Amino acid sequence: MPSTNSELPVPSRLPGGLKLLIAGGFGVGKTTMVGAVSEIAPLTTEATITEASRGVDDIALTGGKTTTTVALDFGRISIADEYVLFLFGMPGQERFWFMWDQLCIGALGVIVLVDTRRIEDSFDAVDYFERSGIPFLVAVNEFEGAPFAYTGAEVREALQLRAEVPVVMCDARSRTSAVNTLIALVRHLQTLDYSTVRPAAPRPAVPEGSFI
Amino acid sequence: MNRGETDAFVDSAAGRLIRPYAVAGGRTAPQADFHLVTHVVATGRPLDGLGPDHDDILSLCRRPISVAEVSALSGLPLAVTKILLSDLLGWRAIDTRAPVPVFERARPGADLLEKVLDALYKL
């Protein structure tokens, strides 16, 4: 499909869209972080995804496809007059993971938010991004009553992170702290040796007809 | 702008009373390639006889705006939003700018990252 702007001159007054993603388990504070840094109140768009059904029973009932509606929360930061950086909270529940591939396309990088009270919720997300080839950092979200019960080194060990993946401590509710986390990610993009980034691993199930 | 309270097809409690694919005229895929962070803006080309959904979306495009924001502010699902925007593009009622290309396993431009960093430091 041709790009929409290939036929028309690009008006200089239109900014270039950029995308950062915030991932992590359900309830870890993704939307809170979006709201802390966004110049607008976080918005929600409703994405509908059609994917091939896996079960034989499903095929009998639905003709081989299932449709899922996912709410995507996002915010924006203007980069001078030239670009707009959008931050999307990635739906955390495992059943939405088939849309992560689509969301990752064209994204600068990912912040994986971790709650140390439920660090096991982060294993799969970290594993996903380790294999996807997209740059990411791990941000340990400080919750009330659980002020950094673990050090960055302990979190790194628990998640078995590769050495180049940064670990930062943050408070997703704090604008300053959330901005510092974004800065840490962009600095990581500046220094990361992209030649060591693995190519994306082939995935067993290719979603079809995604509308993201 | 928000038709949520006034439109006969939208009930404040129940939501839309017509199915999204009806808004999109039964189509399920846009004719053009829109992404979440594709930007659009109205060209100002006068159009007559627009339906209410096209009209709403075109109103949102008076200033430069992303596809994701058009969807969120119109209350229409992303897929429907893209189809309606695709119509508007076909009628030369909007201009678009594709997202800044970011490629796998390749560092984005140094100049771009510097500008992003500058903006973040100013927040």
Q: What is the pLDDT of residue A91?
A: 84
Residues of chain A contacting B116 with CB distance shorter than 8 Å:
18, 79, 83, 85, 108, 186
Q: What is the ipTM of this complex?
A: 0.83
**Interacting residues of A145 by C-beta distance below 8 A, sequence separation 6+:** none
Is residue A24 within 8 Å of residue A112, measured between CB atoms?
Answer: yes
CA A106 to mean position of chain CA atoms: 12
Residues of chain A contacting B105 with CB distance shorter than 8 Å:
133, 194-195, 197, 199
Q: Which domains does chain A have, with CATH numbers?
A: 17-190 (3.40.50.300)
In terms of C-beta density within 10 A (0-12 exposed, 13-18 middle, 19 or more buried), how is residue B117 classed? Answer: middle
Give the pLDDT of chain A (212 residues) as one tens digit per residue: 444 444 444 455 899 999 999 999 888 899 999 999 999 999 999 987 666 544 444 444 545 566 778 889 999 999 999 999 999 998 876 667 777 888 898 999 999 999 988 888 888 889 889 888 899 999 999 876 666 678 899 999 999 999 999 999 999 999 999 999 999 999 999 999 988 776 666 554 434 444 45
Q: For residue A165, which amino acid is it?
A: V
**Interacting residues of A28 by C-beta distance below 8 A, sequence separation 6+:** A92, A113, A114, A115, A118, A121, A122, A141
Which of A 174-203 lie inside 8 A of B, CB atoms? Answer: 175, 179, 182-183, 186-187, 189-190, 192, 194-195, 197, 199-200
Q: What is the pLDDT of residue A122?
A: 87
Is residue A143 within 8 Å of residue A171, measured between CB atoms?
Answer: no
CA A167, CA A155: separation in Å to the nearest integer? 8
Which of B 12-41 lie inside 8 A of A, CB atoms? Answer: 20, 29, 32-41
Number of A–B residue contacts, CB under 8 Å: 167
Is residue B96 within 8 Å of residue B38, measured between CB atoms?
Answer: yes
List helix spans (H) across chain A. 30-37, 56-62, 100-104, 123-132, 152-159, 175-191
CA B81, CA B68: separation in Å to the nearest integer? 9
Buried b (16+ CB within 10 A) or exposed e, B8-39: eebeeeeebeeebeebbeeeeebebbbbbbbb
Q: What is the pLDDT of residue B27?
A: 65
Q: What is the pLDDT of residue A6?
A: 41
Q: Please give the model's pTM, rounded to 2 decimal places.
A: 0.83
Instruction: Tell me the two tokens of residue A196.
Output: 């060591």
Neighbours of A9 (CB within 10 A): 7
Question: Could you report the average pLDDT of every consecutive run of 10 residues in chain B (123 residues)?
Answer: 43 54 62 88 91 94 97 94 95 95 90 97 95
Measured between alpha carbons, how far apart are the two ends of chain B, in Å? 30
Q: What is the pLDDT of residue B99?
A: 95
Residue entry with tokens 């096209």: B54
Upper half-sphere CA count for residue B22 (Cβ side, 13 Å): 6
A8/B contact by beta carbon, under 8 A: yes
Neighbours of A93 (CB within 10 A): 9
Q: What is the pLDDT of residue A140?
A: 94
Please name which of A17, A27, A7 lies closest in space to residue A172, comparing C-alpha atoms. A27
